[in-house]
Every structure is written in structure tokens, then in C-alpha cells.
Amino acid sequence: MIRLGVSNLAWPSEAEDRALALLAEKGAQGVEVAPTRIAPWDELTPQRLGGFRNGCRAAGLEISSLQAVFFGRPEATLLADEAGFAAMRAHTEILAGIADALGAKIAVFGAPRSRLRGALAEGDAMRLAADRLRILGDIAAEGGLSFGMEPVPPVYGADFLNHAADMIALVALTDHPNIRAHLDTACVSLAGDDPSDAIRAAIPSLAHYHMAEPELGPFAAPTLDHDTPGRTLHAVGYDGWVVIEMKQGDGDGLDQVATAIDYARTHYIRV
């Protein structure tokens, strides 16, 4: 069964209680957490994280997933030198603890600037990424967490894993139970690929999905076809979260959140 979540990027922290109540009222089941929307990295104590999780529970919501997991950590890099990867390993240990405290099982690995390949040849970058992702997968597993690898198009600043096929190939090459596939309607479309084709190709390892518009725009007048990907997710038997990823809109953004939930329930959840 597909369950619906909403990223906490869509509202300011001061509207958190109202946002959680709205999500529950509108039929969403979960919240995707960008951790630094709760507090800066060095202030994400077990007490702070536990308080957020309890607030979600009180509203009848789960923590579906994590995102923006390398935000504000430019020193943490997948494909650069050993120091950069050591920083990424250390930060993944922090993420494992956050996931354990929140109960999150999936972390979206987008972060195009944290995985730049630069002068590395494509094949060399794939092999190095697979070797290093196995290490990160072991660390993430300690917190019950898996990384969902996201294809990100060049327009978002990525030079590695631009296409769904690239990401699927890397997940297969890594061959680790905690390194899985994640798709995003906007990212796939902006790379010139078809989201439904990507879903069908990724389904054996597909762990997570984002309903998103370009630049994380709103859903009052979407520019992408969301109906076909939604139908495809159902047709292939996808059993996971569809998370609405959007930026905060006007004011507290909650009117736009309500509109997006209604749209998702029509095109992805189909209730």
C-alpha cells in the first residue's frame, strides 16, 4: 500500500503544530524530515529529536524518511579525496543516530555537490562510489537506515547520476541491502527521462518516491504529468512512501500544503 508523506521543507518551524494537524486532517500518514529544519546539526540532541517524534505521534503521523541529509556539510564528499570521504563517513554516523531517534528508515541521497565526480571518468566514478557506498551502507544500517540514491539532473548542479538508469546501475553495482533506489518526478523529468519508465526499471530496488515539481514548486497548477507516474506506481505494486517535496509557499505555506495533499491523493494515492 502506498502511504503519503509531506516534507517539512513546506512550512516554517513556528507553524509545526498546525502543519502536523493539517497533514493528519487531510489524510497524510507521515513527515519527511530535513533535520536542520528542526535544529542545526550540533543541536539535534536525543531530547530535541524525541520531542519532534512525539509531536508527530501525537498527531497520528510517522517519520517517513530523511532528506537534505548533507545540507550544510560541504566538506563531506563521496568521490573526492580521503579527507572528504572521512567527513562523509563521520556525518553518516550522525545520520544513523538521528534515524534511530526518529524512527526513519530511508534517507534520500540527493546532494549533487556532495557527489561531484569532477575529472573522474564515469566508470571510475561508478566503481569508487560503489566501494564507498558499501561502507556508508554498513554505517547507516546501525541506525536501521537505508540510503535512497536519487538521480539528479544537470540543471540542479549534478555531474554524476544524472539519469535514472545511472542510479539503478550504481545500486546494482553496490549490491548492498541498505543502498537502494529513490525517484523524484521532477528530477527524472528534468533529465529528459520518462518517470514511468524509470519506475518500471527501478522497482526491484525502489525504496522511496518524491512527488515534486521543478524547483520544488507548488501544485496549484503543476507543469509535469503526475497522473501517469502515479498509475505506474500502482501497476508495478510499489509498496512504500510517496512524499510531497515542495518549498514553503506564501505565508506559512499551509494553504499550498493542503492543495498538494489533495493533488497527491488524486494522482498518486488514488483514494
What mean pLDDT is predicted for residues 95-115?
A: 97
What mean pLDDT is predicted for residues 216-228?
A: 97
- pLDDT > 70? residue 271: no
Reported as half-sphere exposure (CB side, CA atoms, 13 A), residue 185 has a value of: 28
Fold classified for 3-269: TIM Barrel (3.20.20)
- pLDDT > 80? residue 140: yes
> What's the pLDDT tens digit per position in 19-57?
999 999 999 999 999 999 999 999 999 999 999 999 999
Would the pTM of this model clear 0.95, i.e. be above it?
yes
What mean pLDDT is predicted for residues 234-261?
A: 97
pLDDT class of 270 with cuts at 50, 70, 90: confident
